[in-house]
Amino acid sequence: MNKKIIECVPNFSEGRNQETIEAIAGAIRKTEGCTLLDVDAGASTNRTVYTFVGDPESVVNGAFNAARVAKDLIDMRTQSGEHPRMGAMDVCPFVPVANVTTGDCVECSKQFAGRASKELGLAFYLYEEASTRDYRKKLPDIRKGEYEAMSEKVTRQGWEPDYWSGEFDPKWGVTATGSRFFLIAYNINVLAPHNQAHRIALNLREAGRGEGNPGRLKETKAMGWHVEEYGMAQITMNLNNYKVTPMHLAFEEAKKDAAELGVSLAGSELVGLIPLEAMLMAADYYARRDGLFIYQESQKIKLVIDRLGLNSVSQFIPEKRIIEYIISEERNEPLASMTLRAFTEEVAARTTAPGGGSVAAAIAGLGTGLGAMVTQLTYGVRKYENVSSEMKKAIPNLLATSQGLIPKVDEDTNAFNDYVAAVRLPKNTDKEKSIRAGAMQNGLKKAILSPLSVMNLGDGAWEQMEIAARHGNFASVSDIEVGARALELGIWGAWRNVVVNMTDIKDESWRQDILSQAEEIKDRAKEKCNHILEILDGRAKCETGK
């Protein structure tokens, strides 16, 4: 997944007025590109935490729209609650989830603060990674004195807000915005009194038992408590950076301490949401530790649920807990999503697309798919146990390549659309002609790079296809023959598309470089295919004794 995903978790100083709470939620829901995941309102704290995700531009818009609604509905002059606060929107962190960096999130926080300050007249402190001043990086330092002290605090030297109009708005107060890492709220169930759960928590949490006696796990907060609802104790934890202390490490370390105390763990509980990466990290750990060969993502998720006991107190439903699954969108792959009959009829229709490029991608994908099939039919079969290690090498790559070629069926057709659109551009003036010519060249290059990517994907599968031919289940020998032929044909078909579309390219250096790459891959495909067929022919002679 290459989609950029940022989580935004604004905390508003209102947890009792349902109309206000819903109005802010509605502003986020209506923001294009934003998905509201959770609204957690607390009456006693008089605070509501909203969690939503989207691409960088969308989450900035979502935060702004929420702040604009809150500005009209929340009045800090009459607000009170148990939770510390300093503004109507008390804090607004941006959190990296997928394909973004902390730096990207810092930029989002600055864009949001700058826009809200200018357009709404609000005041903002930057905190955590967004702040460059050590003494005002931590939220408690900024919030010290709370709302009641802010009107004076913003006038003190060194405490002027990073973004503001210069006028303190008593109705709003002050907001902190910045970037922090994704926080995983995680509870471990302990079949023991809560004081023993707390002993384990003190051993694990970074603060430990106080100065000079730190705990073992960095970026971790923890304490022990008794949960009446579950009838047992828990170690409740905040994992501030799962790349430093991942969930599975926290669980395994707690298990060690529990064993020393003579008590037992009874699974664990995820509170809220989790990034897919954190789950896959745990899966890879347990697969390595236990010597397991698991290559399908769904199986990896099931392994983590089992090893951590995530179903112990409530059912862990991946589609409702893993962020990437929650916001996944239906693939925009009209050709690849067709039935085989419909795709064949579409190709046969009196239209220029889909054409040879889409068919080449489909054929190459079927070829590597046959390789994946053969290797999977070999792995785990007693007769072929001696080649299990070879199958383990081949299966993930062949599956990934086959899956990676599927979207190329649509990509090839879509890639040519830019060129067609460029041809239709106006050409009445010299400037229009120049713009049109440049757009046509860019469109042609895109149409060339698409089949080239098919060639590169297919080219990376030959080693694994050879493993399937040399060691695969001999009962499927014809399948790997067809697979090798199909892969070679798919690469050849993609090469023809590269060559044909290259005719009108003006950039001679680019042209020669791409043609050279494509020619090399095409020749290698023919050589590798012939080699695989020779291997299979040799195996057939050995098997039949002829």
CB 226 within 8 A of CB 232: yes
Mean pLDDT of all residues in the chain? 93
* Residue 334 lies inside a defined structural domain of this protein: no
* Residue 158 lies inside a defined structural domain of this protein: yes
CA atoms within 13 A on the CB side of 21: 18
Per-residue pLDDT at 2 exceeds 80: no
* Residue 100 lies inside a defined structural domain of this protein: yes
* Residue 53 lies inside a defined structural domain of this protein: yes
Same domain (yes/no): 130, 196:
no
> Domain of 220: which CATH number?
3.30.70.670
The first and second tokens of residue 186, run together, are 């995680």
User: CA-to-CA distance for 249 and 118, rounded, in angstroms?
Assistant: 45
User: CA-to-CA distance for 418 and 445, rounded, in angstroms?
Assistant: 10
Helical (H) or strand (E) element with 188: strand 184-191
> Domain of 404: which CATH number?
1.20.120.680
What are 166-209's pLDDT values in tens digits? Answer: 989 999 999 999 998 888 989 999 999 999 999 999 999 999 99
User: Nearest to residue 480, comparing CAs of 526, 404, 532, 524?
Assistant: 532
pTM of the model: 0.77
pLDDT at residue 546, as a whole number: 57
Same domain (yes/no): 348, 275:
no
449: three-class secondary structure by DSSP: helix
Per-residue pLDDT at 331 exceeds 80: no
- What number of other Cβ atoms are within 10 A of residue 398's Cβ? 26
* Residue 280 lies inside a defined structural domain of this protein: yes
What is the residue whose two structure tokens read 């502003």? 27
User: CA-to-CA distance for 130 and 86, rounded, in angstroms?
Assistant: 19
Same domain (yes/no): 347, 491:
yes
> Domain of 119: which CATH number?
3.30.990.10
Q: Among 179, 198, 219, where does a domain finish? A: 179
Q: How far apart are the first and last CA of the chain?
A: 50
User: CA-to-CA distance for 333 and 351, rounded, in angstroms?
Assistant: 18
User: CA-to-CA distance for 492 and 475, rounded, in angstroms?
Assistant: 28
- Output Rg (C-alpha) for the chain, integer angstroms: 29
What are 360-383's pLDDT values in tens digits? Answer: 999 999 999 999 999 999 999 999
Domain containing residue 260: 184-326
Same domain (yes/no): 346, 317:
no
User: CA-to-CA distance for 518 and 492, rounded, in angstroms?
Assistant: 9
DSSP conformation class of 182: P
pLDDT at residue 299, as a whole number: 96
Same domain (yes/no): 191, 165:
no
Question: Which residue among the candidates 412, 459, 471, 479 is catalytic per the annotation?
Answer: 412
The first and second tokens of residue 338, run together, are 């067709």
* Residue 49 lies inside a defined structural domain of this protein: yes
pLDDT at residue 40, as a whole number: 85
Same domain (yes/no): 377, 504:
yes
Same domain (yes/no): 193, 310:
yes
Q: What angle do CA 16, 18, 20 make, to 5 degrees?
A: 95
Helical (H) or strand (E) element with 269: strand 264-271
CB 498 within 8 A of CB 515: yes
CB 406 within 8 A of CB 336: yes
Same domain (yes/no): 169, 198:
no
pLDDT at residue 545, as a whole number: 63
Domain count across the chain:
3
Same domain (yes/no): 205, 148:
no
Q: Among 179, 207, 227, where does a domain finish? A: 179
* Residue 333 lies inside a defined structural domain of this protein: no
Per-residue pLDDT at 1 exceeds 60: no
83 catalytic? Reply is yes
The first and second tokens of residue 84, run together, are 């510390």
Same domain (yes/no): 149, 58:
yes
* Residue 134 lies inside a defined structural domain of this protein: yes
238: three-class secondary structure by DSSP: strand
Same domain (yes/no): 52, 170:
yes
2: three-class secondary structure by DSSP: coil
Q: Among 179, 198, 217, where does a domain finish? A: 179
What are 144-171's pLDDT values in tens digits? Answer: 999 999 999 999 999 999 999 898 999 9
Same domain (yes/no): 267, 220:
yes
DSSP symbols for 378-389: HTT-GGGGGGHH
CB 358 within 8 A of CB 413: yes
Question: Which residue among the candidates 40, 55, 83, 284 is catalytic per the annotation?
Answer: 83
pLDDT at residue 162, as a whole number: 96
CB 370 within 8 A of CB 479: yes
User: Nearest to residue 365, comparing CAs of 338, 413, 400?
Assistant: 400
User: CA-to-CA distance for 209 and 526, rounded, in angstroms?
Assistant: 67
> Which segment of 40-44, 119-123, 328-332, 394-398 scores lowest on mean pLDDT?
328-332
412 catalytic? Reply is yes
What are 209-238's pLDDT values in tens digits? Answer: 988 899 999 999 999 999 888 899 999 999
